[in-house]
Chains A and B, each alone.
Chain A
Amino acid sequence: MPPRVQTGRVSNTLLPYLTSTSSTTSSLPSSSSQCLRQFSATTASQTKLRRQMFEWLSTAGAGLKNHVPGETNYLSRLKQGGPDDSNRPFPNNPNFVSESILSEDLREEIYKRVVTKKQSLRAVSVELGIDMKRIAAVVRLVELEKRQRSQGKPLALPYARAVHEMVPVTPLADRGERQTYHESINDLPAHPLTGSQIFYPVPESRSFNRVEAGRVFSGAPAMTNEEAAEIQHPYDLAQKVIEDPKSIGWIGKGEKARQILQPADARIPHPHMIGLERDRLAHPNERLTVQRRHSDRLARQEALEQEARQRAQEHREASQKTVSPADSRFDYRIQDTKFTKETTGANGRAPWAVGRRYGVPHEDRTRGTVKIPTRVDA
């Protein structure tokens, strides 16, 4: 009986494990190519591919194994080698860029400004060039980190250091230097209504600006001359919306009702920056006045937002009663039911109505409904 020749194949299956432990990569593939005796007529195609892979990993791909601190080490480096490609992880996709993350110092600085110095998110966002949502998230995460440190919970410090070495990082500027902006803070979300192409004839005698374009897109009638005369620049409308968010008009009835599309000036996160630029254009030589007006405007907007937040909180507290018994694991949040046709249906037994109804299975018992939670309250 001839000897069973399986040794070559066995060593092949072991290869990835042997090579992954940072031991020799170059010597092992050669041994796999030395399995000389083939008894089967069909040769294993795997072997060749594997050999090619390990060849590649030991030659062209060798540089990808370890990183150099402070530099990216992506595959596209091998393909072109141009300086422009250093931040593109996928060589076939030029449209994806590995963007920088916040450095530890910058994170600490954000936390210091928001929590210790009590600056508003809006002000910090404009100063450091970071999105407001990101600033809120950073504050939340740093707070969580501080709590975990004080509780002595395990941290992944070497991992964090390694990641910050591999990924591009936005550093905190030195004292006296200008902070490099992390991202664009005035992103305008593209509204679905603006996707359509509309042919809209306008008399040449009329100026057709962003405000009117928004009305055309949302199908609202053109403004009267008096209304149009009030708005010198779309920023005036933005200011009006900031003062009173309910001043935006509505189009359509019932479920199809939607707000009139506002100009970009009202929909970007920092409309007050337009006011600043307009002041600069109007009064190029009065820097102090411009600064004062800007800070006033900022303070006004923050005060209004604070007021709105407070009102919403009060409304929530008024409409909901929370009962937390001393010996219970649960809090009970009790709300009054609105018993209308919309909320409970014509006969009060609509499937979407609250409460248990005889003959109507509870929602989590019905077939086909997804039981996976759709949100987790913080």
Chain B
Amino acid sequence: MRNRASNTLSKGKIRQSWSKYNLYNMSRFRSPATMNRTFFQQKWSAKAVSRAYHGEQVREGQWKRMFSRRIKSVIPMNTVDLAADDGSLVSAGRGSGLTKEEKSRYPTRQTPYTNMTFAPLERRLDVAIFRAMFASSARQARQFVIHGAVTVNGQKMRHPSYLLNPGDLFQVEPDRVMFATGTPKNKFERRESRLAQKPAEEAEAETEKAEAEEPEELKSPKETLKALMARAKSVMSNDKDTLPAKRKQELRGFQKAVRRVLSRSGSESSNILTQSLEVQFSHLTELLKAKRETKSPKQDKKQDNKAAKPETDDSLAFEADEPAASDKLSAAFEQVTLGKDVDVSELSNEEFDTLKRALTQMRDNPIDNTKPYATPWQPRDYMSAFAFIPRYLEVNQNICAAVYLRHPVARPGSAEVPTPFGESIATPAYGWYLRRRW
């Protein structure tokens, strides 16, 4: 199927996509005019606008067959109210002057039924993958399905139009998800990965030359550290005005730590990071446990001293230390990355935590040129503006799997079908698809 779902600026259609073009279109979207237009025209334009978002990959006839005028809705019940009366109070005394003008205890909110017009499309596998945030657009989700990267209940499913049943578990290959949601490589990184691939190809051809130093040199941890620092620097210099201050701080700390390691480990023979990271990590955690037990009574004093220390959560910030407090920490970091044992007695608990977190992140989010996305992984730009997970899905992001719990429902005040359009478009669009036109 040809992809007609381009994000053109001239048409300004809203699509199921995380692209920045789409974001801009969404920001400047205005509901189609209703003044001086016939009812038919209003319904037509409402339908056209909403179909550009909801299942534009589905043919119109196909969607018409899926459309159902019955809309699923629920009412949250209060068991205290149910226990208090059996409903006869509501029906008793009508018309006999017994009713008082009483405000209801709960504000009655209208149920936005017509916002659920396109609920049947949310059952489709490709749409559900997009809603679970495993793909950056419904089209990409569709491609994942067709290319065989998706399983439903453990079996490979190659039909994007498969309608999920309540309780179905679908799973996408984590690498695809990381590619779809991560920052793309820039041209230097692409070149790096090409170079990394090249020696491997040569090695296949000529087995004698395979033992040359090249691959080791390219993958040498020093290089990767340098590249990392360059990345941090470029991020800092380019996005100075957009980055939040806290993150800037973290990046700066990270740069410093890397520079220190680079300056101290002068010899070429250093075999850091790459081979024994796992071993290092488990070793360090054991040390940490031992230290916890010995130092637990003194903990309070230590924490008072280091209370001002910032927390780090960023994926880039391997090491976010304040220069005053953490010479020891950076020394320890260096020791660890060099593959040596660490002298733990000099570090405080918090420094230990920082070290551990840094190593965890290094292990979970390594630099790997073979990946199709920029490493270490970072969320792609403008992803957060589209980040939400509807309640009819239960998602486990670690394994990129999700369960389709039930069909989406409307409830007083909210509808579960994610749609960028309000009542003024949803209602005429619903009217368009009713067989009996109104």
Contact = CB atoms under 8 A, between A and B. Distances in A.
A281 B85 CA distance: 11
A73 B385 CA distance: 5
A334 to B, nearest CB: 22
Given A63-B242, A159-B178, A376 B383 contact: no
Given A233-B86, A376-B155, A187 B74 contact: yes
Given A67-B384, A144-B399, A159-B181, A209 B115 contact: no
Contacts of B382: 61, 64-65
Interface string B390-417: 1100111111111101100101011101
Interface stretch (A113-121, A265-273, A301-309, A353-361): A265-273
* Interface-centre pick from B86, B152, B386 (highest chain A CB count, 10 A): B86
A162 B386 contact: no
B2 to A, nearest CB: 20
Contact of A159 (B83, B177, B187): B177
A166 interface: yes
A22 B93 CA distance: 69
Contacts of B421: 90, 92-93
B235 A75 contact: no
* Interface-centre pick from A57, A65, A78, A208 (highest chain B CB count, 10 A): A65
A160 B315 CA distance: 11
Interface in A141-185: 141-142, 144-145, 148, 153-167, 183-184
Interface in A209-237: 209-211, 213, 233-235
Contacts of B377: 158-159
Contact of B9 (A49, A93, A264): A49
B122 to A, nearest CB: 12
A192 interface: yes
Interface stretch (A96-104, A242-250, A310-318): A96-104
B397 A20 contact: no
Interface in B158-200: 159, 161-163, 165-169, 171, 174-175, 177-178, 181-187
Given A163-B397, A184-B76, A235-B83, A46 B10 contact: yes
Nearest to A48: B9
Contacts of A321: none
B24 interface: yes
Contacts of B211: none
A372 interface: yes
B61 interface: no
Contact of B389 (A101, A140, A144): A101
Given A63-B242, A66-B243, A277 B79 contact: yes
Contacts of A297: none
A192 B26 contact: no
A148 B397 CA distance: 13
A277 B112 contact: no
A156 B409 CA distance: 30
Interface residues on B, range: 35 or more
Contacts of A97: 414
* Interface-centre pick from A63, A93, A167, A268 (highest chain B CB count, 10 A): A93
A154 B87 contact: no
Nearest to B241: A62
A95 B315 contact: no
A252 to B, nearest CB: 20
Interface string A54-84: 0011001111111111001111001000000
Nearest to B133: A163
A281 B84 CA distance: 8
Nearest to A273: B79
A91 to B, nearest CB: 8
A159 B182 contact: yes
A92 B420 contact: yes
Given A93-B420, A270-B79, A190 B73 contact: yes
A22 to B, nearest CB: 7
B20 A57 contact: yes
Contact of A133 (B162, B398, B401, B405): B405
A137 interface: yes
A106 to B, nearest CB: 12
Given A92-B31, A95-B422, A155 B174 contact: yes
Given A53-B9, A92-B420, A62 B174 contact: no
25 contacts: A21-B183, A21-B187, A22-B186, A23-B234, A24-B238, A66-B242, A66-B381, A68-B246, A92-B29, A93-B420, A93-B422, A95-B414, A96-B417, A101-B395, A142-B396, A156-B400, A159-B174, A162-B378, A167-B389, A187-B74, A187-B409, A188-B77, A192-B70, A202-B91, A264-B82
Given A133-B406, A274-B79, 17 more contacts: A20-B20, A20-B381, A66-B381, A89-B388, A90-B26, A90-B420, A92-B421, A95-B413, A133-B166, A141-B403, A159-B178, A184-B76, A202-B91, A207-B86, A234-B86, A275-B83, A277-B80
The list of the 10 closest CB pairs from A to B, nearest first, reads A160-B397, A67-B384, A277-B83, A98-B388, A137-B403, A210-B87, A166-B387, A184-B76, A73-B384, A207-B88
Interface of A: 16, 20-24, 45-46, 49-50, 53, 56-57, 60-69, 72-75, 78, 89-99, 101-102, 107, 131, 133-134, 137-138, 140-142, 144-145, 148, 153-167, 183-184, 186-190, 192, 202, 204, 207-211, 213, 233-235, 263-265, 268, 270, 273-278, 280-281, 372-378
Interface of B: 9-10, 20-21, 23-24, 26-29, 31, 70, 72-80, 82-84, 86-88, 91-93, 96, 112, 115, 133, 152-155, 157, 159, 161-163, 165-169, 171, 174-175, 177-178, 181-187, 234-235, 238-239, 241-244, 246-247, 313-315, 361, 364-365, 376-379, 381-391, 394-403, 405-406, 409, 411, 413-415, 417-423
